[in-house]
Structure 1
Amino acid sequence: MPPQLVPEDLAVYWTGRPANTIRRWAAEGRLTRHQDRTRRRNGVLYDLAELPEAKRDKDTRELVTPAQTPPVLAQSALLAA
């Protein structure tokens, strides 16, 4: 199954973390950064499967607990991207 790629704003919502944190996680090798040059904004996408999910209220969708920091990806996974 191909990866489900999402833009940064959706990654922020999914994890409940700020955009700077998402970018830092990618720089640290915790997330794979994918490029899509056809997108108008920065063209950076993230794989939803690599993003930890925040806990949100079932009714209001308000953030309850931000997602945990993901582990560093294996070196072979970084080379494949």
Structure 2
Amino acid sequence: MPPILVTAADAAYYTGRPVGTIWRWASEGRIDRYGTGKSVRYNVAQLPAKTVDEWTGKVTLGDPPRLPEGARAA
């Protein structure tokens, strides 16, 4: 199955995190980057989805993607 690719803004909305976090995860190797420059896209399957409680509206963030072996967080 081919990856479902989204922009950094869409990835940020999906995860409930800032766009800068998506960029950092990609630079750390936690998620793959497809394309270059302004056409970069990210695979939704690699992103932790946020959940929203329909009664209270409380947002719960998923665990961040794992760092690759031997990598260090920014």
Bin the TM-score by the shorter chain: 0.7 to 0.9
Task: Report the counterpart of residue 34 of structure 2 in structure 1.
Answer: 34
Secondary structure of the residue aligned to 1:46 is: strand
For residues 54 and 66 of structure 1, what CA distance do their matches in structure 2 show? 5
CA contact (8 A) 1:54 1:63 kept: no
Q: 1:73 to 1:6 in 2, by over 3 A?
A: farther
Task: Report the counterpart of residue 48 of structure 1 in structure 2.
Answer: 44
1:72 aligned residue (53, 67, 70): 67
Q: Which runs of 5+ in 1 are unaligned?
A: 75-81
Q: 1:63 to 1:26 in 2, by over 3 A?
A: farther
How much identity, in percent, do the aligned residues show? Answer: 43
Counting matched residue pairs gives 69
Please report how far the alpha carbon of residue 36 of structure 1 lies from its aligned counterpart in structure 2 after TM superposition.
6.3
Q: Deviations over 1:26-53 (max 9, x none)?
A: 011100000167xxxx111000000010
Please report how far the alpha carbon of residue 9 of structure 1 lies from its aligned counterpart in structure 2 after TM superposition.
1.0
Give me the TM-score of the superposition, normalised by structure 1: 0.72
CA contact (8 A) 1:31 1:73 kept: no
